[in-house]
């Protein structure tokens, strides 16, 4: 927000021949563009000669406003109070009061701020009165009196136009545009902000122009244009760095955008940084908002203790500052944390309803809607269905307008209302409408990472639909609802944007820094500076990739698909069986599709399955990394038997010995499936969703020759590629210095088969930064998104290369997700570390079988069985089990 910064066109540095009055005004004029120089000029006036009272007041005011630009609020307040005390003329004193009011508002003291500005108003005329009106609008804005603030901003614009004061017009338009953006009137906001930025640029006020463009990013985010907002923020952030002006409060704007996706982990990090930085600088008003941000992020992350504590602290601060609207928002977060902790009481219900009404009355419809829906669910739990129905009826009106997540919540409320009335079909229709709204929103996000994270918004709707289907006992509907929001991002392939030289440069720099970091670690040299550089580059790459132009389309160029029918699946399955796992409350269920028929099965407690899967992975990993031993083998056998029994005993009769397509829930994507007795020796294909599998089966394999790649620091990789080249005539090998990231990505385009033997690293914090080490540094999953003609089948004989990060909606992120989303038909990769010496023999057998025409899943199963049987050791068994066939098989 641009406040009262009374700085005209820069007059230049003053010298000793210029009078004191002009020098004091020069300091004031320099505040917006050169705050540090403004401080130096103002102090020179104060210590040189004997300035009169009004000159001294003007100099003190310039120093105070410049310190505000540099976020030193205590220092700013000291100088502005002096400016009020020493002023002689009523006009100069009123101007000082006006500036003091702005900084008091920034410090969270909105009551004294409003009094100061109101006292100044009667003493001012013309453009000065316009500035005071705009400044009072700022204070009213802080206090949540939005209608009054917009009115004062409008009066300021009218006065500015009448007086020909471009600077005042730009400031008032900027503030009005920002407020209208938050209130949802985006067209008015855009007009004001564009005009404001243009005027500031015309006047040569680069910092103010950057502030207005930052606010344009906020407006873009408010109307749902996440990619546009990210582009704006990244561009303007560079401008702030160039100007060397800190803007810690702008972390809160970035937080709002991250939460809108939602990128929860990053939002937590940004909110925490904002609290620390704003507390250090004494910016009380923004600090209260940062504490609220931390509470909101913690609530979404499931950290309920932090959410409640931070929200309570923010609420107390808001009340002290007279910001009742913000206090109601903080109370909303406190109450939601109470509900999430299992509190059920009439008092809590009353507080939630009251808070929702307060939020509605003060112009914050989205938190009001969330609170009202949760209050309705609480009322139902307390045995008050009529109260719940009334709340849901009000909440359901939201489906008609607002952002996509807001409208989807309205459809969710309508579904709950209909279900409460016993209209299950009507409830299902409303849920489908809500998910359709979110599908459109997701398609607009463009970047794979943003689409994957946006799955959080549909979770409640899909879970409600799934619950209805399970309780009515219709397997086909359970499958449909499980598919409706599962791995939805992989159905959409990002439209290829124009080549971005800046992104390509950043990726190349990251490779160089990462390679230098690896060398330094091996040599025992200090790595702190390299780690900082790596972190900065990764952040820059995320911003550039997220802000790429271009929406999304269906993975094969068509519209977003509805879930496949059992008949469509049957035609593609043939004699294979599809087993789709579904989390339903505390139970793990499965929908089985066989010969066109669907059946629903209860596989037992979800927690037990997850615990057994972890033990199974741990045991196999131990065999590979610590060596074969009787105790290790016994541990694996016990965990394997328990997991296999839970997952497959209820469906064993229907499986027979048929090929198997498994669609796991997110937490089970890392299971080494062929290590389970039921899967060993049979073709097993793992897919993120039945929809993704069905589409992959229809893709043609490109005709390009095989590509074989060997990464550095892995002698077995060179041997592996050399032997594979002999077994695959006509193949193209990239080894040594020739196996660079650019060469590999170019070679992957249009090849029917690609094999990459390299060191791999999975990044759980950001799976798209998972890497394959090549000659010039690591190749990230981000870079594979540049492929325009994806390979047909990819084999990654690198450790953990098949692991994926899992986001809400069972969205997977990593090499698997990127390649399948791009259009690869199948991928064979590892979900465990693998020893190089054992892997080569397995890979040679796999490729010989595929060369003979055997499909990838069958070829892998046969090679795994032959390999484990021939060697007979536990390490060989674990190595074979580590490989999984993803995609179509």
Per-residue pLDDT tens over the stretch 358-376 = 888 877 788 888 899 999 9
Please give the residue that has the higher pLDDT: either 358 or 402.
358
Q: What is the pLDDT of residues 483-521, one digit of tens each?
A: 877 755 444 444 444 456 666 677 666 667 666 766 666
E strand intervals along 673-786? 684-686, 707-710, 732-734, 753-757, 760-761, 771-774, 777-780
Cβ contact 110:322 at 8 Å: yes
User: Which tokens sit at 241?
Assistant: 């760095």
Mean pLDDT computed over 443-468: 63
Residue 5: pLDDT over 70: no
Q: CA of 476: how far to CAs of 346, 570, 696, in Å?
A: 40, 13, 21
- pLDDT value of residue 49: 63
User: Which tokens sit at 508?
Assistant: 């190349």
Cβ contact 44:67 at 8 Å: no
Residue 553: pLDDT over 50: no
Start-to-end C-alpha separation, the chain: 55
Please give the residue that has the higher pLDDT: either 454 or 687.
687
Q: Residue 575: what are its φ and ψ, rounded to 5°?
A: -90, 5
3-class SS shares of the chain: helix, strand, coil, % to 5: 65, 10, 25
User: Whole-model pTM?
Assistant: 0.68
The whole-angstrom separation of Cα 666 and Cα 583 is 10
User: Which tokens sit at 781?
Assistant: 């999953």
Cβ contact 634:885 at 8 Å: no
Average pLDDT, the chain: 81
- pLDDT value of residue 61: 92
The whole-angstrom separation of Cα 748 and Cα 753 is 8
User: Which tokens sit at 426?
Assistant: 């009507």
Instruction: Decide the pairing of beta strands 811-813 and 805-807.
Output: antiparallel
| Residue 99: closest CA among 71, 127, 57 | 57
Residue 809: pLDDT over 60: no
Mean pLDDT computed over 213-233: 76
- pLDDT value of residue 623: 79
| Residue 838: closest CA among 863, 805, 812 | 863
The whole-angstrom separation of Cα 605 and Cα 693 is 27
Please give the residue that has the higher pLDDT: either 19 or 498.
498
Spatial neighbors of 557 by CB under 8 A, at least 6 apart, are 493
Spatial neighbors of 406 by CB under 8 A, at least 6 apart, are 365, 366, 369, 398
Residue 6: pLDDT over 70: no
Q: Where are the alpha helices (DSSP H) in 109-165?
A: 110-120, 126-142, 146-163
Mean pLDDT computed over 380-395: 94
Residue 228: pLDDT over 70: yes
Q: What is the pLDDT of residues 604-640, one digit of tens each?
A: 999 999 999 989 888 888 777 766 666 666 767 888 8
The whole-angstrom separation of Cα 879 and Cα 864 is 9
The gap from C-alpha 813 to its chain's centroid, in whole angstroms, comes to 12
User: What is the four-CA torsion angle of 867, 871, 877, 879, rounded to 10 degrees?
Assistant: -70
Q: What is the pLDDT of residues 291-317, one digit of tens each?
A: 998 998 888 888 999 999 999 999 999
- pLDDT value of residue 489: 47
């Amino acid at each position: 927000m641009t406040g009262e910064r009374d700085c005209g066109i820069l007059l230049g540095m003053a010298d000793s021949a210029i009078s004191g009055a002009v020098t004091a005004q020069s300091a004031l004029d320099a505040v917006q563009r050169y705050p540090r120089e403004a401080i130096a000029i103002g102090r020179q006036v104060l210590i040189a000669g004997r300035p009169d009272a009004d000159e001294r007041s003007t100099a003190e005011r310039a120093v105070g406003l410049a310190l505000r630009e540099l976020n030193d609020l205590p220092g700013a307040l000291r100088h502005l109070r002096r400016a009020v005390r020493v002023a002689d003329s009523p006009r100069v004193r009123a101007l000082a009061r006006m500036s003091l009011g702005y900084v008091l508002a920034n410090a969270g003291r909105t009551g004294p701020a409003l009094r100061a500005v109101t006292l100044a108003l009667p003493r001012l005329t013309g453009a000065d009165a316009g500035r005071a009106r705009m400044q009072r609008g700022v204070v009213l804005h802080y206090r949540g009196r939005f209608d009054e603030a917009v009115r004062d901003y409008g009066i300021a614009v009218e006065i500015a136009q009448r007086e020909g004061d471009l600077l005042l017009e730009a400031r008032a338009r900027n503030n009005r545009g920002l407020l209208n953006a938050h209130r949802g009137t985006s067209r008015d906001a855009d007009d004001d902000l564009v005009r404001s930025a243009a005027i500031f640029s015309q006047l040569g006020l680069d910092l103010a122009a950057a502030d207005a463009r930052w606010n344009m990013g906020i407006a873009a985010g408010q109307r749902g244009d996440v990619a546009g907002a990210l582009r704006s923020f990244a561009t303007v952030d560079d401008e702030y760095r160039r100007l060397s002006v800190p803007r810690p409060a702008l972390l809160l704007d970035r937080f709002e955008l991250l939460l809108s996706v939602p990128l929860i982990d990053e939002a937590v990090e940004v909110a925490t940084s904002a609290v620390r930085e704003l507390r250090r600088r004494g910016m009380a008003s923004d600090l209260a908002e940062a504490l609220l941000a931390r509470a909101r992020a913690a609530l979404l992350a499931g950290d309920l203790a932090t959410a409640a504590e931070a929200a309570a602290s923010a609420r107390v601060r808001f009340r002290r500052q007279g910001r009742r609207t913000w206090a109601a928002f903080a109370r909303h977060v406190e109450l939601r944390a109470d509900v999430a902790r299992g509190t059920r009481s009439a008092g809590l219900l009353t507080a939630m309803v009251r808070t929702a009404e307060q939020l509605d009355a003060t112009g914050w419809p989205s938190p009001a809607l969330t609170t009202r829906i949760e209050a309705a669910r609480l009322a139902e739990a307390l045995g008050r269905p009529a109260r719940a129905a009334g709340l849901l009826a009000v909440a359901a009106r939201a489906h008609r307008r607002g952002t996509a997540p807001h409208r989807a919540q309205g459809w969710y409320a309508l579904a709950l209302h209909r279900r409460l009335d016993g209209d299950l079909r009507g409830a299902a229709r409303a849920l489908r409408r809500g998910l359709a709204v979110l599908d459109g929103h997701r398609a607009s996000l463009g970047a794979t990472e943003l689409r994957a994270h946006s799955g959080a918004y549909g979770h409640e709707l899909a879970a409600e639909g799934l619950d209805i289907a399970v309780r009515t006992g219709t397997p086909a509907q359970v499958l449909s609802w499980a598919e409706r929001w599962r791995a939805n991002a992989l159905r959409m392939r990002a439209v290829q944007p124009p080549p971005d030289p800046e992104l390509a440069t950043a990726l190349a720099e990251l490779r160089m820094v990462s390679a230098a970091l690896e060398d330094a670690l091996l040599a025992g040299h200090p790595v702190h500076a390299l780690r900082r550089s790596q972190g900065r580059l990764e952040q820059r790459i995320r911003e550039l990739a997220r802000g790429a132009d271009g929406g999304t389309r269906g993975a094969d160029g068509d519209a977003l698909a509805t879930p496949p029918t059992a008949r469509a699946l049957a035609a593609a399955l043939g004699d294979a069986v599809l087993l789709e796992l579904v989390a339903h409350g505390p139970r793990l269920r499965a929908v089985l599709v066989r010969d066109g028929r669907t059946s629903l099965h209860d596989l037992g407690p979800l927690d037990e399955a997850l615990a057994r899967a972890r033990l199974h992975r741990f045991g196999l990993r131990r065999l590979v990394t610590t060596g074969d031993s009787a105790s290790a083998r016994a541990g694996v056998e016990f965990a394997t038997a328990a997991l296999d029994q839970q997952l497959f005993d209820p469906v064993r009769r229907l499986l027979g010995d048929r090929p198997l397509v498994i669609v796991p829930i997110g937490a089970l994507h890392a299971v080494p499936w062929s290590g389970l007795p039921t899967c060993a020796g049979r073709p097993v294909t793992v897919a993120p969703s039945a929809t993704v599998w069905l589409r992959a089966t229809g893709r043609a394999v490109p005709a390009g020759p095989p590509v074989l790649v060997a990464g550095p620091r892995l002698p077995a990789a060179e041997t592996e590629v050399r032997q594979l080249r002999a077994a695959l005539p006509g193949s193209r090998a990239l080894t040594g210095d020739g196996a660079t990231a650019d060469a590999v990505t170019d070679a992957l385009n249009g090849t029917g088969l690609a094999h990459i033997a390299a060191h791999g690293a999975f990044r759980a914090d950001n799976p798209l930064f998972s890497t394959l080490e090549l000659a010039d540094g690591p190749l990230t999953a981000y870079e594979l998104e540049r492929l325009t003609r994806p390979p047909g089948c990819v084999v990654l004989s690198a450790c953990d290369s098949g692991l994926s990060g899992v986001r809400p909606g069972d969205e997977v992120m990593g090499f698997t997700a990127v390649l399948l989303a791009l259009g690869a038909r199948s991928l064979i990769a590892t979900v465990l570390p693998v020893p190089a010496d054992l892997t080569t023999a397995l890979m040679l057998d796999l490729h010989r079988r595929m060369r003979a025409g055997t499909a990838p899943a069958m070829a892998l199963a046969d090679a795994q069985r032959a390999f484990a049987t021939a060697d007979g050791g536990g390490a060989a068994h674990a190595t074979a089990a580590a490989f999984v066939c993803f995609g179509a098989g």
